[in-house]
Each structure stands twice: as structure tokens, then as C-alpha cells.
Amino acid sequence: MSQVQTVAILGGGPSGAALAVWLARAGKTVVLFDPGKRPPLIVGESLIPAIMPFLFDLGIADEVKSYSKIKPGATFILDKGRTIHSFKFDTVPGAKCTYAYNVPREKYDATFRAAAARAGATVLTHRAQVEAVEGTDKLKLADATLAAAEVLGGKQPDWIIDATGRSRKFARLLGLEADEGPRKDIALFAHCDDVPSLDEGHVHTEVMDWGWSWRIPLPDRMSVGFVLPAERAAQYGDTDEARFDNILKRDSIAAKWNVNAKRITPVVRFNNWSLVARRGVGENWALVGDAFGFVDPVFSSGMMLALTSANELAMALTKGDGSMKAMKKYEADQASHVRGWQEAVETFYNGKLWSILDVGMRMKETTWFGRLVAPHFEANIPKVFTGEAARDKHALQLIRTMCKYGLVDVDVAKFAVHS
């Protein structure tokens, strides 16, 4: 008999719900605990093409399409608006999917939970509690939580999964260490009316006076976010609402598009650092999605990390039958994926990614060598924006090599994010 028959998942967001679908399809008894209460807005409204195969596999792509805005590309505005890179996904050589969606998260998350229930998982609105089993590396459901999951018949599940996102429930309980990224920015974001865009459906990422901003076109509004150091944000007011509104009014870059902008929701603040757990699995527990690791959202990579980790953990618990070998491989692969994105994000902040593109375009126009290697760059650098670069060793190595050897005497500060 399989060692994995029953699984409890804490957290009803996309990573937890997708994991529930894949495990239930494999014949496992799955209980998905969803706490029910959510913030008014959630980061992760913009998807990237690399996650589209997951949506098709989960059987939810058409439903997501029905309430979302198609995203055909991404636009980056740099150097005080003097440099604009607009990437269309259908021009990326070898792209597996040439579009994605910008999604209203409330509907999007509900779609995932409904898919979990259809697949046969038991979805409970319950704030689950877990406890450490003394003298072991195991966890167990607290008595009240176990009683709420009647499908388990009073028996502890074989595996318990932390999909609680940045709450990182297991890490706090077990004192798990993590490696944090170098920046400690915050993000302030809200939904607005009457905010323009340069390219229809594109996410617009723009370097501001301090930090950077996003504009994500949703079906009937624009999600606007400002990412900057906390001490800079404090200069704009005493509350998050005042800070957001004053950045919108006073930032010289935002002034180019904020003329008629009207904020229509509360302002949500979240800590925008990056983090990866040093341990992602234990004797009968594992971390998935943001509970394992997360990165700055500049490349819209959060949902990719969430669904990739859910898919790989499902494989470890089904085809790998929860063996420690399979679980350790999942842990190593997921940590590598997070760190790959951290590396790509750093090239955005220090200006090196854009300097590579700038050098490449000039070489293509002026030298035979540039024309020779241009197809190589054009096939690999855009993978950062489609979501494939962080798992593509060749693309990552190309970026590393260019950052180290290709930018000698190049003023990368021209494209850097000001902090």
C-alpha cells in the first residue's frame, strides 16, 4: 500500500488548491483548510505565459479567461521615460505560450478552490491549527482541527502541508531558518480609475524617482503599486493612504500618467522582500508556494513559483510516494527556482539587465559579431518575462556571463532603481 493516503493542506490559495487538485486526482484523501478571511487586495494579479499550461491542466483556463484581461506582453519604462522596452510574448522564439492574463484575485482564487472541490478534495472553511509532536520532526493537527475534518475519521493525516503563504505557519512553529534577499522595500498598492497605459493589456513597470511602480490593467480598473524603501515612503505621509496618494501626485514620473487617476479601493501594504526557506520538508510535513519562498514581484513570478511548487510537490507525494529522496529533490528544486528568480530580480534593480539589452541592440546595429549573436540573445533574455528563465540554466548562465564580462565600462547606474 502507498505510504501516502491522506493529506491535509493548510491554506486555500492557488498553491494549496492546485496541490489539492493534483493529489485528489491521484486518489488521495485530501482536506483543504481555507481560513476564509482575505485582505481586500492580494498581490499576484498579473500572470506570465509559463503558468498557462498549469491552468489548462487544472481545467480552469476557460473560466479564468471569462473574467480576466488578456496580457499579450510586458512594458518596462526606464531612465525617466527615455528608454522603453515593450515585449510581446508572441515574438519570443520558442515560447510555449504567447499570452497570459491579468486577473481579479478574488475570482481567481475562488476558481482554484472550486476546482479542488470538483476534483474530490474536502474544502473546509476553518482556521487550522497544527502542533509539533514532541521528540520528533513530525507535526499533527490540533484536536479541534482534526475533529473538523470528518473525512479523516479521527486519524492524523499522513502528510501536512503549509500553503499559508507569507504567514509561514510551520516556519514560525518550528523555528525554521530562511535566507532573505538584500532589499527591505515595501509595496503600497490600490485599484484606480482613469489610469492610462502605453500598450493594451501589458503590465507597465516603471522606474520612479524612488523605487518603481506597476500598472496592471484589469477588466474595469487599473491596479497601481509603488515599491520603495520604507523610509522613503514615510516621507510622503503618516498613513498608507496618504503615502500612496501623495506618491501618485508628487512623483515626477507618475505625473506623466496620473492626471485623472482616482483611487477606488483602500491601500494595501505588504513587505516586499524576498526569502527562501533553508528547510522545506520534514518527516511528515512540507512547505509549498510562498510558505517555501517568495521574491520581489517585478517580473510577476509569484504565481509561477506557487504553481510550480504545487505541481512538483504533488509529484513527490504521488509518483515519489512521499519518500525522503523524492521530498529532498522537491526541496532542492524549489529552492533553486526561488534563487533563480532572486538572481533575475537583482539584475532589474542594479540596472544590469537593461544594460545587457542596450549593449546587445547597439552591437546588433553596428558590428558583425552583434548580428551573429543577436538571435541567441533574442531567444533567451525574453525568457525572464515569459517566466522560463529561472528554470533554464542556459538562459541564466547567459545573463550571469553578460553581467560579469559584457558590461565593462558600461554605466549600469543609468537604468538602476533609485533607493
Domain residue ranges in the chain? 6-68+104-178+275-342, 185-271, 350-415
* CA-to-CA dists, residue 269 to 103, 234, 272, 311, 349, angstroms: 19, 13, 9, 29, 20
Cα 281 to its chain centre, rounded Å, is 20
Percent of the chain at pLDDT exceeding 70: 95
Amino acid 351: pLDDT:
93
The helix, strand and coil proportions of the chain, stated in percent and rounded to the nearest 5, come to 45, 20, 35
Amino acid 93: pLDDT:
80
Amino acid 373: pLDDT:
62
- 6-68+104-178+275-342 and 185-271, same CATH topology: no
- Res. 376 pLDDT band, cuts 50 70 90: low
- Res. 372 pLDDT band, cuts 50 70 90: low
Considering only 29-38, 137-146, 202-211, 402-411, which range has the smallest mean pLDDT?
402-411
| C-alpha cell recorded at residue 292 | 517555501
Entry field: residues in the chain? 419
pLDDT at 157 over 70: yes
- Res. 301 pLDDT band, cuts 50 70 90: very high
Amino acid 37: pLDDT:
83
- Res. 159 pLDDT band, cuts 50 70 90: very high
CATH architecture of 6-68+104-178+275-342: 3-Layer(bba) Sandwich (3.50)
Instruction: Domain 185-271: state its class.
Output: alpha beta
Average pLDDT, the chain: 92
What is the average pLDDT across 65-70? 98
Strands 73-78 and 203-207: parallel
397 or 99: which carries more pLDDT confidence?
99
6: enclosing H helix or E strand: strand 6-10
Neighbours of 252 (CB within 10 A): 10
Secondary structure of 16-78 as H, E, C letters: HHHHHHHHHHCCCEEEEEECCCCCCCCCCCECCHHHHHHHHHHCCHHHHHHHCEEECEEEEEE
Q: Is residue 11 within 8 Å of residue 128, measured between CB atoms?
A: no
Amino acid 419: pLDDT:
85
- Res. 155 pLDDT band, cuts 50 70 90: very high
Q: Is residue 151 within 8 Å of residue 29, measured between CB atoms?
A: yes
| C-alpha cell recorded at residue 384 | 525572464
Amino acid 196: pLDDT:
94
368 or 293: which carries more pLDDT confidence?
293
What is the average pLDDT across 358-371? 68
Considering only 275-279, 325-329, 359-363, which range has the smallest mean pLDDT?
359-363
Tens digits of residue pLDDT in 198-215:
999 999 999 999 999 999
pLDDT at 375 over 90: no
Amino acid 177: pLDDT:
96
- Res. 391 pLDDT band, cuts 50 70 90: confident
* CA-to-CA dists, residue 54 to 46, 100, 340, angstroms: 15, 12, 20
* CA-to-CA dists, residue 295 to 114, 326, 341, 349, angstroms: 27, 25, 7, 13
Amino acid 1: pLDDT:
54
Amino acid 172: pLDDT:
95
pLDDT at 330 over 80: yes
Considering only 72-81, 143-152, 281-290, 375-384, which range has the smallest mean pLDDT?
375-384
DSSP-assigned states of every residue in 253-317: TGGGT-TT-EE-S--EEEE---EEES--B-SSEEE-GGGTEE--GGG--HHHHHHHHHHHHHHHH
Tens digits of residue pLDDT in 239-285:
999 999 999 999 999 999 989 999 999 999 998 778 999 999 999 99
Q: Which of 122, 44, 121, 94 is nearest to 299 (CA)?
A: 44
How many CA atoms are closer than 13 Å to the CA of 369, on its beta-carbon side? 3
Q: What is the pTM assigned to this prediction?
A: 0.94
378 or 279: which carries more pLDDT confidence?
279
